Structure 1
């Protein structure tokens, strides 16, 4: 399993291509679901769909996929200036 370059973000380590592919798959699934919500929302405020619950669904889906992606990438806490150095 080859390691790909890490993200240029503190706390993220280099990832295998399998992990990158998995998270990209999850991002595509997330986008498909969010587009379904967009279609439901674009039909305008109507009794057909409760807009408040559509917003809740969108937020919860985004949070769920973020948690799923973090489970794969496993970002760590970062050290800040002034933190003690490990021995």
Structure 2
């Protein structure tokens, strides 16, 4: 059995697979953001807003699967 993380329940195999898929998509999106940040002529303010919103969305998806019991 894996160690218990305070505020989190133990995930089953399907939930762990979903978490890993979310994390993999996060890596892909992070690479896209880096590409956009390196492209001249783009409005970097909006690129930054998009990056923050993507991070927020990924966090929400992760919390939706993990269902933490703490703030």
TM-score, with structure 2 as normaliser: 0.87
Where in structure 1 are there 5+ consecutive unaligned residues? 79-87
Q: Which 4+ runs in 1 deviate beyond 3 A?
A: none
Q: Which has the higher contact order (CA 8 A, sep 6+)?
A: 2
Deviation at 1:6, TM superposition (A): 5.2
- Of Structure 1 and Structure 2, the greater helix share is in 2
Aligned residues: 71
2:58 aligns to what?
65
Gaps of 5+ in 2: none
Alignment RMSD (CA, Å): 1.7
TM-score, with length taken from structure 1: 0.72
**Radius of gyration: which is bigger?**
1
